[in-house]
Amino acid sequence: MIRLLPERGGWLEVVCGPMFSGKSEELIRRLRRAEIAGQRALIVKPRIDDRYDIGHVVSHAGAKMRAVAVSRPEEIVGLADGYDAIGIDEVQFFADEIVAVIERLVERGARVVAAGLDQDFRGLPFGAMPELLCRAELVDKLQAVCHRCGGPATMTQRLVDGAPAPADGATIVVGALDAYEARCRSCHELRTVELSALAR
């Protein structure tokens, strides 16, 4: 496999996969390395839940790096001015304008690393991820360990009171006490609802 990066100009790298697959860890690793190389690196993330550590990206294993929480994708353009490498965590939570914003950063020469869930808890494409995966120079799809069988997990299981969440629940539930697990396709469960509920 040949994976080369442009020698001139900016580019987009996308890191995707289910929860617990190491996306935030990988984002932090890449941005740290950029800093070590003497580049100016910045991580931004969506401001979705203020109770969380708003000034940092924190991985499930405890890796941590300073980050700026933003409400709207447009804010990133000004924030990222002067940075060589820009990491964006939880990119699936941003509005569709994130695509144009990333395009603009890349066009002005930045390296953008976007990390996020490729699928929602139903297994459907999440937010702007399909568009970003399509436009990226480099794509990595990480796997977690299935909480059920220990196999390679590519999906995220939402549990409500320990039971599979209904398929017609909201995609994003800020502050909910739902639990999430990484699951492989055959262990992934969805409480069935009318098929029409899946048409968004």
Q: Which residues bind Zn ion (CB under 5 A)?
A: 146, 148-149, 151, 184, 187
Cβ contacts of 191 within 8 Å, gap of 6 or more: 163, 164, 165, 166, 167
CA-nearest of 181, 122, 123, 127 to 14 is: 127
Residues 127-146 vs ligand ADP: string with x where CB under 6 A?
-----------------xx-
Q: According to CB under 5 A, which one of 10, 15, 21, 24 is a site residue for Mg ion?
A: 24
Question: CB-based burial of residue 88 (10 Å sphere; 0-12 exposed, 13-18 middle, 19+ buried)?
Answer: buried
Give the sheet arrangement for strand 155-160, strand by strand: 163-164, 155-160, 179-183
Q: Which does 104 bind (CB under 5 to 8 A by kind): Zn ion, ligand ADP, Mg ion, none?
A: none
Q: Which stretch binds ligand ADP (CB under 6 A): 19-27, 33-41, 68-76, 123-131?
A: 19-27
> Exposed (0-12), middle (13-18) or buried (19+): which is 4, by Cβ within 10 Å?
exposed
What CA–CA distance (Å, rounded) separates 132 from 116?
A: 10
157 binds, among Zn ion, ligand ADP, Mg ion, none (CB under 5 to 8 A by kind): none
> From Zn ion, Mg ion, ligand ADP, none, which one binds at residue 61 (CB under 5 to 8 Å depending on kind)?
ligand ADP
Residue 23 makes contact with ligand ADP by CB under 6 A: yes
Q: Would you state the structure tokens that stand for residue 150, as one six-digit string?
A: 């220990």
Q: Is 59 in the site for ligand ADP (CB under 6 A)?
A: yes
> For residues 135 and 99, is the Cβ–Cβ distance under 8 A?
yes
90: annotated active-site residue:
yes
- Contact footprint for ligand ADP (CB under 6 A): 17, 19-25, 59-61, 144-145, 147, 182
- Contact footprint for Mg ion (CB under 5 A): 23-24
Residues noted as catalytic: 90
